[in-house]
């Protein structure tokens, strides 16, 4: 009889440098038997090509990668044991998952915990945003002003500044919703740090702009009331 158990866990949005990836890689190697053949792979998908590296050394030697990679996977496999990290496209968003399979529950749990614990310490601050139901938040943002005017501030004349802030908030939220896999990726592999601050953090800056717009809208609403 052959038995195989598989466990999957979604990961928070994260960012890893090559050095941090190397540390994680070393910990993952410790899950397997040194005396047996181990298959390892780091796959990177770019707009016009797909690259496969067998280990960290190969990846570090390749000089034609962009500064940040957001579509990639890591696989380590030995006989019946396998653990993998994938940053993959879903219907409405992109998410990162760790998947482990083995003949025992204990090994799967240990492999997933190794991944999750390490990734958790490199979690991105905007993780709460990409895991939130942004579509419903946009619908609520559209409806709230009308509801407030009807039930709370009936007959109140809205200041133009508040309207502008509210529209700005909606535009930024909608843009982040449709392009969040580009602007706020679920997983980032930082190949180099020479891409410029604004370009590296355009998504995060957009989210900050949305938060500021929300605050200004709410504060302005009550100040001018």
- Residues 119, 74 contacting (CB under 8 angstroms): no
The C-alpha atoms of residue 98 and residue 80 are separated, in whole angstroms, by: 17
The pLDDT of residue 2: 72
> Hey, how many other C-beta atoms are within 10 angstroms of the C-beta on 107?
19
- The answer on pLDDT for 188 being more than 60 is yes
Judge whether residue 222 has pLDDT over 60: no
- Per DSSP, 46 falls in state E
> Residue 199's pLDDT is what?
53
What local confidence, expressed as pLDDT, does residue 91 receive? 43
Helices (H), 152-192: 160-183
Lowest mean pLDDT among 45-49, 79-83, 193-197, 219-223: 219-223
CB 179 within 8 A of CB 6: no
What is the percent of the chain where pLDDT is above 90?
41
Please tell me the distance from the alpha carbon of residue 155 to that of residue 149, in angstroms, as a whole number.
Answer: 7
Q: Which residues contact 190 (CB under 8 A, 6 or more apart)?
A: 15, 16, 17, 18, 67, 68
What rounded mean pLDDT belongs to the chain?
A: 78
Cβ atoms 18, 191 nearer than 8 A = yes
pLDDT at 152 over 60: no
Q: Is the pLDDT of residue 50 over 70?
A: yes
Model confidence band, residue 174 (pLDDT cutoffs 50, 70, 90): confident
pLDDT, tens digit, 9 for 90 and up, residues 92-148 = 456 789 999 999 999 999 999 999 999 999 998 878 776 666 666 666 666 666 555
Coil vs helix vs strand at 171: helix
pTM of the complete model beyond 0.85: no
What is the mean pLDDT of the segment spanning 80-95? 74
For residue 33 the two structure tokens come to 């038997």
As a whole number of angstroms, the distance between CA 179 and CA 172 comes to 10
Determine how many CB atoms are found less than 10 A away from the CB of residue 84.
19
Better-predicted residue by pLDDT, 184 or 179: 184
């Amino acid at each position: 009889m052959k038995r195989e158990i598989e466990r999957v866990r979604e990961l928070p949005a994260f960012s890893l440098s090559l050095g941090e990836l190397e540390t994680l890689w070393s910990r993952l190697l410790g899950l397997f038997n040194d005396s047996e053949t181990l298959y390892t792979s780091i796959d990177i998908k770019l707009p016009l090509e797909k690259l496969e590296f067998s280990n960290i050394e190969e990846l570090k030697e390749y000089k034609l990668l962009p500064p940040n990679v957001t579509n990639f996977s890591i696989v380590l496999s030995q006989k019946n044991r396998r653990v993998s990290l994938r940053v993959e496209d879903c219907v409405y968003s992109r998410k990162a998952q760790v998947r482990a399979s083995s003949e025992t529950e204990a090994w799967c749990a240990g492999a997933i915990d190794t991944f999750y614990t390490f990734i958790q310490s490199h979690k991105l601050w905007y993780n709460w945003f990409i895991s939130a139901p942004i579509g419903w938040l946009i619908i609520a943002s559209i409806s709230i002003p009308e509801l407030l005017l009807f039930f709370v501030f009936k007959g109140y004349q809205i200041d133009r500044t508040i309207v502008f802030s509210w529209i700005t908030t909606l535009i930024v939220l909608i843009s982040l919703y449709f392009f969040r896999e580009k602007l706020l990726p679920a997983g980032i592999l930082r190949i180099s740090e020479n891409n410029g601050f604004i370009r590296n953090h355009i998504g995060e800056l957009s989210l900050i702009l949305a938060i500021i717009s929300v605050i200004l809208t709410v504060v302005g609403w009550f100040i001018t009331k």
